[in-house]
């Protein structure tokens, strides 16, 4: 099997009249092509490496990685550019706090230009800053029928305020990357993960209806309950769905 090929134009060089968004909408959806099939990509890891290398180059980032669902509620990092990227992700999984952890479950684009003072992730942000990382961008990774697979995570050592152009570029590429990774997987781990994602969504719906919360706040209730009681997020959601109550 040959190496996966990713044919993507350098859209930043086509920024005519300072308007990258027009370039993206006009032709990116037509010309961004990822040739990733069982014949062209030997492993998901090979595909992930291609995705992460391209992402870091296009956004001039220092580190990048991909977080994907594996079994049950477990997240796993694939294709990290280096050990620091892998460590930044792993700290989020252990703390159950951080942008790629939140994005993986909640599918929101998240960014920060100052992790040391970001109230959303006080513990992880402080540790990331101590390792010399200041800014980040995390974008949803999805596949066919908007199946949510995880997130692409990009890190910078210097302060960087991500622009709509940055988000648009990475979001479009993430869609193609998700399709490529889904094709590259030969086991059923993604299906298990997607079932977990569906279960979390159902639990959010119960909290939303009962306590008049929005989707984001309902997810935060589940996440904090999981942290404070040391119960897996999936198990909290399973119990809530079955009994209509949070476990005591």
H-state helical runs in 77-141: 83-95, 99-106, 122-130
* Residue 44 included in any domain: yes
3-state secondary structure (DSSP) of residue 71: coil
* Residue 248 included in any domain: no
Same structural domain, 204 and 222: yes
* Residue 133 included in any domain: yes
Question: In the predicted model, what is the mean pLDDT of residues 168-178?
Answer: 83
Same structural domain, 46 and 124: yes
With b for 16 or more beta-carbon neighbours within 10 A and e for fewer, the 67-93 pattern comes to bbbbeebebbbbbbbeebbbbbbebbb
Per residue in 37-85, pLDDT (tens digit) is 333 445 667 778 888 888 898 899 999 999 887 755 678 888 899 989 9
Same structural domain, 211 and 113: no
Same structural domain, 59 and 46: yes
pLDDT band at 87; cut points 50, 70, 90? very high
Same structural domain, 228 and 151: no
Number of domains present in the structure of the chain: 2
Q: Of the spans 167-171, 175-179, 195-199, which averages the highest pLDDT?
A: 167-171
Domain containing 44 equals 5-186
Per residue in 190-206, pLDDT (tens digit) is 555 556 667 788 888 89
Q: How many CB atoms lie within 10 A of CB 222?
A: 21
* Residue 84 included in any domain: yes
Length of the chain in residues, anyone?
248
High-pLDDT (> 70) share of the chain, %: 71
User: Quick check: 2 pLDDT over 60?
Assistant: no
Same structural domain, 138 and 198: no
High-pLDDT (> 90) share of the chain, %: 24
- Among candidate residues 169, 186, 203, the one where a domain is terminated: 186
CATH code at position 111: 3.30.450.40
- Among candidate residues 167, 186, 205, the one where a domain is terminated: 186
Same structural domain, 175 and 203: no
Same structural domain, 22 and 139: yes
Same structural domain, 121 and 22: yes
Q: Which helix (H) or strand (E) holds 112?
A: strand 110-112
Same structural domain, 196 and 182: no
Same structural domain, 126 and 205: no
CATH code at position 229: 1.10.10.10
Same structural domain, 80 and 197: no
Residues 141, 172: Cα–Cα separation, whole Å: 10
């Amino acid at each position: 099997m040959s190496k996966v090929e990713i044919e993507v134009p350098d859209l930043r060089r086509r920024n005519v009249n300072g308007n990258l968004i027009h370039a993206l909408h006009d032709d990116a959806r037509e010309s961004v092509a990822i040739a990733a099939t069982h014949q062209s990509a030997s492993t998901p890891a090979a595909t992930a490496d291609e995705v992460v290398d391209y992402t870091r180059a296009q956004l001039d980032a220092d580190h990048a990685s991909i977080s994907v669902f594996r079994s049950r509620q477990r997240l796993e990092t694939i294709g990290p550019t280096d050990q620091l990227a892998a460590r930044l992700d792993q700290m989020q999984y252990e703390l159950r706090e951080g942008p790629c952890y939140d994005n993986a479950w909640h599918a929101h684009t998240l960014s920060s230009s100052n992790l040391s003072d970001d109230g959303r992730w006080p513990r992880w942000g402080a540790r990331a800053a101590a390792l010399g990382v200041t800014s980040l961008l995390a974008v949803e990774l999805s596949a066919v029928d908007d199946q949510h697979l995880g997130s692409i995570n990009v890190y910078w050592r210097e302060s960087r305020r991500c622009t709509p152009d940055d988000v648009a570029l990475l979001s479009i590429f993430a869609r193609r990357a998700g399709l490529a990774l889904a094709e590259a997987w030969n086991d059923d781990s993604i299906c298990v993960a997607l079932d977990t994602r569906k279960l979390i969504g159902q639990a959010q719906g119960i909290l939303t209806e009962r306590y008049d919360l929005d989707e984001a706040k309902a997810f935060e209730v589940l996440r904090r309950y999981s942290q404070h009681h040391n119960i897996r997020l999936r198990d909290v959601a399973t119990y809530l769905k079955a009994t209509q109550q949070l476990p005591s």
